[in-house]
Amino acid sequence: MSGITLQPAAPARASRILGIGGYRPSRVITNAEIVEQIDSSDEWIRTRSGIESRRWATDDETVVAMSLGAAGKALAEAGVQPAQIDCVIVSTVTHLFQTPSAAAEIAYKLGTERAAAFDISAACAGFCYGLSLASDMVRAGTARHVLVIGVERLSDLTDQTDRSTAFLFADGAGAAVVGSAENPDDGGIGPVVWGSDGQHLDHIRQREDWRDVLRNEAGPTMPHLVMQGNPVFRWASYEMAKVAQEALTAAGVTADDLDVFVPHQANMRITDAMARQLKLPERVAIARDIATQGNTSAASIPLAIERMLETGEARSGDLALIIGFGAGLVYAAQVIRIP
């Protein structure tokens, strides 16, 4: 053995979110349009999910195009130039190219200087997963600035005749720039509490294998997403409240310390159930972006934060609990400072 000692990465630093940005597709789809193809009503959809309308992308609003729109806003808010980005992480399940990654194309089109780039598939927990990876990179000194993007075109994989899912899914992109805090006490991203429960893989999944849809005798079609609504509702409403509490404990805070609660925008009833389980004070602002945006999976948390900043429900420096959960079943939660 040689006596050579490898030089370690830079000492750990505190990480924080420097800027948030979102992209909402131009096409607004009302409940009236949805119920034309399913046995339902506007009242039923609002009661079951809290959704009044959702955004679906046009042909030009691709996964990459929406990501670039959200990323540009996040970079501007952070005061960071594309050339300062060392890594791009994109969470998506709807980039329909197996390779190359959406992240690599986005990194190039943004004008980063050879940034590392990769996609992750963590469904509706994807933004929280990406945020944790970015935070660890910054803290370990392997990156100065990391761009995290959650983006979906779920309308591509939505069966518009499926009564259980047609009204839920939507499109959009949200982005965050993660960098170092000026001193350790300024850290803005708490420890992540994450995991998976694979015994329930069938609760939310892609219905068809890609090979099956390509070999369809009637001609190639798109695969579709299916969901077992009641089991997912019970799991998200109660099990995820426990995970959220673990994230509070890991960060050394309590529900009384929070200013904002931003759960994945899956269903308004799930949001309300989690808030009750956590015993959130009435003064805590709760994200309800799903009402006019729909369920955008990996994009929902950054989009909700952006809207709360725009409306004044959240302010820079507020303490927020975020939690994502979805197909897998995967989940992740952390406490953050609003940028």
Residues 6+ apart with CB under 8 A from 233: 267, 269, 270
Judged by phi (left if over 0) then psi (alpha if -120 to 50, else beta), residue 50 lies in: left
Task: Quote the distance between the C-alpha of residue 33 and its chain's center.
Answer: 26
Q: In the annotation, is 124 catalytic?
A: yes
| In the block, residue with structure tokens 């469904």 | 123
Q: Compute the distance between CA of residue 107 and CA of residue 142 in angstroms, rounded to an integer.
A: 17
In the 8-state DSSP scheme, what is residue 311?
H
Residue 140 buriedness (CB in 10 A; 0-12 / 13-18 / 19+): middle
Q: In the annotation, is 128 catalytic?
A: no
Q: Compute the distance between CA of residue 185 and CA of residue 243 in angstroms, rounded to an integer.
A: 25
Of these residues, 145, 203, 224, 264, which one is catalytic? 264
Tokens of 337: 């400072």
**Cβ 190 vs Cβ 334: under 8 Å:** yes
Question: Closest by alpha carbon to 128, among 196, 82, 182?
Answer: 196
**Cβ 96 vs Cβ 36: under 8 Å:** no
Task: Quote the distance between the C-alpha of residue 23 and its chain's center.
Answer: 13
**Cβ 138 vs Cβ 180: under 8 Å:** yes
Q: In the annotation, is 87 catalytic?
A: no
**Cβ 8 vs Cβ 180: under 8 Å:** no
Of these residues, 128, 145, 203, 295, which one is catalytic? 295
Q: Compute the distance between CA of residue 175 and CA of residue 148 in angstroms, rounded to an integer.
A: 6
Tokens of 271: 């949001």
Backbone φ, ψ for residue 121 (5° rounding): -120, 95
Of these residues, 31, 87, 95, 124, which one is catalytic? 124
Q: Is residue 38 classed as helix, strand or coil in its secondary structure?
A: coil
Which residues carry out catalysis? 124, 264, 295
